[in-house]
Amino acid sequence: MNSPSAQFVSSRRMSVYDPIHQINMWGEGFKSNGNLSASIPLIDEADLKFDSSQSEDASHGMLGTSNKYEQEANRPIDKIQRRLAQNREAARKSRLRKKAYVQQLESSRLKLVQLEQELERVRQQGMYMGGGLDSNNMCFAGPVNPGIAAFEMEYGHWVDEQNRQISEMRNALNSHISDIELRMLVDGMMNHYAEIYRMKSAAAKTDVFYVMSGMWKTTAERFFLWIGGFRPSELLKILGPMIEPLTEQQRLDIDNLGQSCQQAEDALSQGMEKLRQTLADSVAAGQFIEGTYIPQMATAMEKLEALVSFVNQADHLRQETLQQMSRTLTIRQSARCLLALGEYFQRLRALSSLWSNRPREPA
């Protein structure tokens, strides 16, 4: 079929019959090799082609063979229709995906609420959770102890308040805050530490083993445990570099403080060792005689009472160390020191979390 080329056909969109026909005719006019008769069938053809191009797949057949002019005339309409249809399809698929996603979210949320409720219920029944308050280290240590359950709840609040104070201190040190205001923040943090020691003392009376083992702490914190808490001399070594620059007198004072801590810690550790020995002896000397009073157990029980004193003395040492630090340092140094201390424990807690959530190779 002889198809006159239509180089001059404009690139503008053709959406209606008439312009196409006109252009066809124009095309023929230009071309005029005298093939006027050819135009008519072409028009008809164009009509035909145009009609058939209404269907989606017709355009494919068209492109190779038909009048290029007409192709371009048809293509825009094809394109548009095709594009519209594709859009509709895409939109539909998108809506379906969104719906699926939202449903998934909803069911996850529901599961989360259920888990939280169960967690709360279990806590209130007085079961202990090892590894601090993250659910990764559950170890149930026995039946209800309301004193400990109360402690754990209070501890959660204590940590929240601690985190808030740390942020506040950080911001304060980065801004231009007066020494007076800084002192208030420092006092606030010191009082907050006093608070945890009060809490621990009360908890020790209800369950001294719980406090001795640092059960409320995260795993990494517990790794560094010494008589139910941190070791003051260790902490001094860590914090030392963070409070530079120091005057010579301060340096001397801090060194002496470190030494005094070490001596006090050693004395307490030796006392603990003696307690262990005498306790072991009492238990070893005991007998199991049915229905008889076992005096050795009574002795052992008395020994355990001493553990409460140890916890109290160790906490007392921690507090005294913190106070002596703040006496030796300027207010700004104290603030930096307390900030560093708080951040150190935050990082230990984060480390515990990271460790327990690390991807593990399947055995």
Partner 1 sequence: MHQAIPYMSSHNNNFGNINENYYSNKKKENHASSKGEEKMILNMVSENAVIVIGKRGCCMSHVVKRLLQSLGVNPAIHEVEEEKDEVIVARELESIIEGNVQFPMVFIGGKLFGGLDRLMATHISGELVPLLKQAGALWL
Q: Which of residues 279-318 bind partner 1 (CB under 8 A)?
A: 303, 306, 309-310, 313, 316-317
Residue 1's Cα: distance from chain center in Å?
A: 72
User: Segment contacting partner 1 (CB under 8 A): 162-170, 209-217, 237-245, 263-271?
Assistant: 263-271
CB nearer to partner 1: pick between 52 and 309: 309
Q: What sign does the CA torsion over 242, 248, 249, 253 have?
A: positive
The site for partner 1, by CB under 8 A, has a size of: 27
Q: How far apart are CA 28 and CA 215, in angstroms?
A: 95
User: Segment contacting partner 1 (CB under 8 A): 84-92, 96-104, 149-157, 253-261?
Assistant: 253-261
Please name the amino acid found at residue 96.
Answer: L
Q: How far apart are CA 275 and CA 166, in angstroms?
A: 38
CB nearer to partner 1: pick between 51 and 273: 273
> Under the criterion CB under 8 A, does residue 331 sit at the interface with partner 1?
no
Tokens 């800084």 identify what position? Answer: 182
CB nearer to partner 1: pick between 221 and 315: 315
Q: How far apart are CA 336 and CA 356, in angstroms?
A: 30
Q: Which of 196, 204, 227, 257 binds partner 1 (CB under 8 A)?
A: 257
CB nearer to partner 1: pick between 85 and 283: 283
Q: Which of residues 57-116 bind partner 1 (CB under 8 A)?
A: none
* Contact present, 312 and 212 (Cβ < 8 Å): no
> Under the criterion CB under 8 A, does residue 236 sit at the interface with partner 1?
no
Nearest distance in Å: CB 104, partner 1: 58
CB nearer to partner 1: pick between 234 and 253: 253
> Under the criterion CB under 8 A, does residue 234 sit at the interface with partner 1?
no
User: Segment contacting partner 1 (CB under 8 A): 24-32, 106-114, 238-246, 252-260?
Assistant: 252-260
User: Segment contacting partner 1 (CB under 8 A): 39-47, 57-65, 128-136, 260-268?
Assistant: 260-268
Q: How far apart are CA 294 and CA 27, in angstroms?
A: 121
CB nearer to partner 1: pick between 135 and 277: 277
> Under the criterion CB under 8 A, does residue 263 sit at the interface with partner 1?
yes
Nearest distance in Å: CB 357, partner 1: 39
> Under the criterion CB under 8 A, does residue 274 sit at the interface with partner 1?
yes
> Under the criterion CB under 8 A, does residue 271 sit at the interface with partner 1?
yes
Nearest distance in Å: CB 326, partner 1: 12
Dihedral (C-alpha) 171, 177, 182, 184: value to the nearest 10 degrees?
Answer: -100
User: Segment contacting partner 1 (CB under 8 A): 65-73, 148-156, 211-219, 259-267?
Assistant: 259-267
User: Segment contacting partner 1 (CB under 8 A): 21-29, 137-145, 272-280, 334-342?
Assistant: 272-280
CB nearer to partner 1: pick between 132 and 258: 258
Q: Which of 125, 327, 355, 357 binds partner 1 (CB under 8 A)?
A: 327
> Under the criterion CB under 8 A, does residue 321 sit at the interface with partner 1?
yes
- Applying CB under 8 A, which residues contact partner 1? 253, 256-257, 260-261, 263-264, 266-268, 270-272, 274-275, 278, 303, 306, 309-310, 313, 316-317, 320-321, 324, 327
